[in-house]
Structure 1
Amino acid sequence: MKRWMLAATCVALLGTAACGGDDQSGDGGTPDTASPPQSPTGTQGSPEPTSPAPGGECASVIESLSPRERVAQLLVVGVEPSDPAAAVRLVSDHRVGGIFIGGNATDLLTGDALEQVQQAAGEVPVSVAVDDEGGRVQRIDELVGSIPSARAMAATMTPEEVRQLAVERGEQLSARGVTVDYAPVVDLTDGPANGVIGDRSFSADPQTATEYAAAFAEGLSESGVRPVIKHFPGHGRASGDSHQGLVQTPPLDDLRESDLVPYEDLGVYPDDTEVMVGHLDVPGLTEGEPASLSPAAYQLLREDYGYDGVVLTDDLGAMRAISDTYTLDEAVLLAVQAGADQPLWSAGGDVAPVIDRLEAAVAEGELPQDRLNEALTRVLTAKGACG
C-alpha cells in the first residue's frame, strides 16, 4: 500500500490528531548552471482550551521538540553553496528541518561539508535538497558531468534508460549528502526550449510525460534520493514566468484533461515521491490566489488525486508571484495554513522572524495544532526520524 494511502487510512480510522495530524531559472529562484489576499478561508481556527497531542510513531519525536523547533522543522531554507559554515550555523542555531542548495558553487557538495551540517542537526536529520533536473537546471554537473534536458531524454532515450541514468545521478547526489531532488518536471509543453518550462518538460503529451517522469523518479528513489514532481497543478501552459509575477493557467476543467493527468495515478511514482505546488492562478480553483497559498489547490491534490505525502511550495522568497504581494513571514504562514507541509524559500537570510511568526500563530490558534502535527508527521516520516 502506498505511503499516502496508509496515512489516509490512519486519518480515517483515528482522526487527524491521532495520526499526527520553479521555472526558467530553476526552482528556488537560483541561476541555472548552464545560464542564468486575502488569507485563505477555512484554514484558521480559534484557540482551543487544550492542544491535541500528536499520535502515531512520530508522537515521541514531536513531543521532544520545543514549540519553536516544531515550526522550524517545517522550513526549507536556501543556503549559500560556497559557505558551508553558514549552513552549519543556520541548522545549529535555528533547527530548520531542511536546506536547499542552489547556484553554481559546489563547496557544500564536496568533502564532508554536508556531514557537518547533519551533525549540527542533532537527533533529527535535516533534509538536503537540490534542483538537479538535467539540461539548464543542474547542480553537480561541474563535479560529475552534465545530463540531458528532460525533452532531450524523451527524444533520445527509452524510459528504462532514463531510469538507469537517474539511478546513477541519484547515487552521485546521495554520495555527496543530498537527500531530495526537486525533479522531475511533469509540466506539459512543446514550446520553445528556452521558455519558462520549455525543454524542462519531457513532452506535451501527458502519457509520455508521465511515463518518463515516473522512470526518472524511480531511478532517484532507488538511489536513496526522494524525487519531487512539479509544478502542481501544471505550469506548462501558464501565461508567463512566476519569477516575474503571478501567472494564470487555463481553467481547472481544461487542466483536468491534460496538465493534471500526470497526477491522476500517483501509484506510478515511487512511494517517497513528493509534490511541489507552483505559484499559479487557476481559474475555477484558486480565485486569484497563487496555488501555493490556496487551500483549494491543496484540497484538489489531497482529495481529488488522493495524495497524502509531503507537499512543498515553490520558492516563496525570490519569485515575484509571491513577493510582490506578501512578506516572507506572511507567505510562509499562509502556505502552511493552506496545506503545505514544507514552505521553501531560497534567499536564506534571517529566518528568526519567520519562525517567530509561525510560533506566535500556533500559540494564538491562528495555525491550528492539528495542522502543524499533520505537517510535522509527514516531514519527520519522510526524513526517517520516526523509526
Structure 2
Amino acid sequence: MNLRTALVFVVTAGLLAGCGGEQAQVSSPTTSAAPASPGPASAGTPSSAAPSQATDPCAPVISQMSQRQKLAQLLVVGVSPSDPAGAAETVREQQVGGIFIGGNPTAILTGGALDPVHAAARWGVSVAIDEEGGRVQRIDALDGSIPSARVLAATMSPEQVRGLALDRGRQMRARGVTEDYAPILDVSAQPDDGPIGDRSFSTDPHTARTYALAFATGLSEAGVTPVLKHFPGHGSAEGDSHEGAVTTPPLDSLRAKDLVPYEGIADYGRAKVMVGHLTVPGLTGQQPASLSPAAYGLLRGDYRFTGPVITDDLGAMRAITSDHPLPDAVLDALRAGADQALWSSGGKVSTVLDRLESATADGELPATRVDEALGRVLRAKHTCG
C-alpha cells in the first residue's frame, strides 16, 4: 500500500471485510505474550515446499475448513476506520484472513475497539496498517509523528532506527495491530514528493537494506510483522501505480540495484513481502509483477523467500483496476503465486469468494495452490505451527 490520499475513500465507502478461523483463535494483541525475536532461520532459509500432511501441524486446522473458508483466509480486505462494529461483523460473517485499516480516522484504533475484531476470528486475523513514517502514517494523531525513511537514514544510526521501530511497534501492538506495511525496501533518488521519494531510506541499495533491516527488526521485536515492499523494486520505476501502469528498468538492472535489499532475506526474520504492480522488462512480459508467476518465482527461487507473500492493493490502483475486475485480479494473483490478495476499498468479499470457489471447482485455481498459500497464512498468524 502507498499514499494516504489513495486510502481516504475507505472511510466514506462504508467498507466491510471479514476473517476466519476455528478453535485455534489467537489472543488479542493487547494481551498477548511477548513475541519471539526475529532470527535468520525464520523467514527465508527453509525449502519453499509445503510440509507434508504427516508433519504439517496446520493439517488438522485446515481439515476443519470448507473450501470457501480456506479461500477467505487468502483475502485481506479494507475496513472503515470509523466503524469498529462493522469490521467485527464482517470478520465474523466472512472469516477472511486479514483486514487493512487505511484513512485518517482513529476510532478503530482506540479504546480496545479491535478486541472484538480479533475475537470474531475463528482462525485468527491479521490487522494491518501503513505506518512508514513521514507522509504515510496511521497512528500519528494518537502516538505522535515519526520522520520519513529518508530523514531517519540521514539523522539516525541503524540501531537508533531499530529502537524507534521497536517503540512504534509496541504502540501499534497495544492498539491491536499485528502487521505494518513497512519498511520500504525501494531504492530511490526521486524528489521527496515522488511516488516513492522520501519513503525510501536511500539511493544506495546497501544503505537502504541496512536501515530497512533495522526498522523490520524493531517491529518484529515488538510483535508486529513487517511487510517488505514493493518487490521487485519501485524506486527506479517510471510512473505511479495509483495512477496507471508502471515500468521498471530491465531485470538485470534491478538485480544490480533495486533487488539488493532483498538479498539475504532471511535476516529480516518473520516478515511478509508485498509484490507491487510493476511491469519488469525481461521478467513479467506485459503483466504487472503482482499477477506474474515469473515475479513470484524470482522471489521464491533466486531470493529464497519462504514466508507469506501479499499483493499490493488490487482494488484502488489503476495499474490493476484499469484492466482487471477485482474478482479476476484476485484469482490471477493467487494463481500466480500470491498467498494473500489485498484490496483496501473493502466490500465485495462474497463476490470474490464466489469467483474463487468457481475457479477451484473447475481446476482453474488448483487445490494444491490454495493449501500451500493457506499453510503459510496460518503459520504466520501462529494459528498452527
Q: Of the candidates 297, 300, 303, which is equivalent to residue 302 of structure 1?
A: 300
> What is the CA deviation profile of residues 71-95 of structure 1, one whole-angstrom value per residue up to 9, with x for unaligned ones?
0001000001001111011101111
Whether 1:339 aligns to 2:337 is: yes
Q: CA deviation at 1:5?
A: 4.8
Partner of 2:76: 76
Partner of 2:86: 86
Partner of 1:208: 207
Q: CA deviation at 1:303?
A: 0.3
Whether the 8 Å contact between 2:74 and 2:373 is mirrored in structure 1 is: yes
Q: CA deviation at 1:267?
A: 2.8
- Unpaired runs of 5+ in structure 1? 21-52
1:92–1:146 CA distance, 2 compared to 1 (3 A): same
Q: Of the candidates 347, 350, 358, which is equivalent to residue 349 of structure 1?
A: 347
Partner of 1:255: 254
Whether the 8 Å contact between 2:45 and 2:305 is mirrored in structure 1 is: no
Partner of 2:42: 3
Q: CA deviation at 1:230?
A: 0.5
Whether the 8 Å contact between 1:187 and 1:197 is mirrored in structure 2 is: yes
Whether 1:373 aligns to 2:371 is: yes
Partner of 1:144: 143
Q: CA deviation at 1:205?
A: 0.2
Whether 1:311 aligns to 2:309 is: yes
1:147–1:257 CA distance, 2 compared to 1 (3 A): same
Q: CA deviation at 1:314?
A: 0.3
- Unpaired runs of 5+ in structure 2? 1-39
CA distance, structure 2, for counterparts of residue 146 and residue 371 of structure 1: 41
CA distance, structure 2, for counterparts of residue 356 and residue 209 of structure 1: 41
Q: CA deviation at 1:3?
A: 3.2
- The one-letter code of the counterpart of 1:115 is D
Q: CA deviation at 1:190?
A: 1.9
Secondary structure in 1 matching 2:114:
helix
Whether the 8 Å contact between 1:3 and 1:308 is mirrored in structure 2 is: no
> What is the CA deviation profile of residues 328-372 of structure 1, one whole-angstrom value per residue up to 9, with x for unaligned ones?
000000000000001000000221010111111112111111111
Whether the 8 Å contact between 2:44 and 2:265 is mirrored in structure 1 is: no
Q: CA deviation at 1:191?
A: 1.5
In the alignment of these two chains, the number of paired residues is 346
Whether the 8 Å contact between 1:81 and 1:106 is mirrored in structure 2 is: yes
Following superposition, which runs of at least 4 residues in structure 1 exceed 2 angstroms of deviation?
3-7
Whether the 8 Å contact between 1:293 and 1:331 is mirrored in structure 2 is: yes
1:144–1:5 CA distance, 2 compared to 1 (3 A): closer
1:6–1:155 CA distance, 2 compared to 1 (3 A): closer
> What is the CA deviation profile of residues 264-307 of structure 1, one whole-angstrom value per residue up to 9, with x for unaligned ones?
1113312x111000000000000010000000000000001101
Whether the 8 Å contact between 2:279 and 2:289 is mirrored in structure 1 is: yes
Partner of 1:197: 196
1:107-126 mapped onto 2 (5 Å cutoff): 107-122=107-122, 124-126=123-125
Q: CA deviation at 1:156?
A: 0.3
Partner of 2:8: none
Q: CA deviation at 1:4?
A: 4.4
Secondary structure in 2 matching 1:57:
coil
Whether the 8 Å contact between 1:317 and 1:328 is mirrored in structure 2 is: yes
Q: CA deviation at 1:55?
A: 6.0
- The one-letter code of the counterpart of 2:197 is G
1:101-112 mapped onto 2 (5 Å cutoff): 101-112=101-112
1:268-283 mapped onto 2 (5 Å cutoff): 268-270=267-269, 272-283=270-281
Partner of 2:174: 175
- The one-letter code of the counterpart of 2:366 is P
CA distance, structure 2, for counterparts of residue 111 and residue 121 of structure 1: 19
Partner of 2:288: 290
> What is the CA deviation profile of residues 78-126 of structure 1, one whole-angstrom value per residue up to 9, with x for unaligned ones?
001001111011101111110000100001101121100011113x110
CA distance, structure 2, for counterparts of residue 378 and residue 336 of structure 1: 13
Partner of 1:26: none
CA distance, structure 2, for counterparts of residue 5 and residue 219 of structure 1: 18
1:252–1:6 CA distance, 2 compared to 1 (3 A): closer
- The one-letter code of the counterpart of 2:279 is D
CA distance, structure 2, for counterparts of residue 239 and residue 54 of structure 1: 48
Secondary structure in 2 matching 1:121:
coil
Q: CA deviation at 1:54?
A: 8.8
Secondary structure in 1 matching 2:63:
helix
Q: CA deviation at 1:7?
A: 4.4
Whether the 8 Å contact between 1:4 and 1:306 is mirrored in structure 2 is: no
When the two chains are superposed, the root-mean-square deviation of aligned CA atoms in Å is 1.3
Partner of 1:358: 356
Secondary structure in 2 matching 1:64:
coil
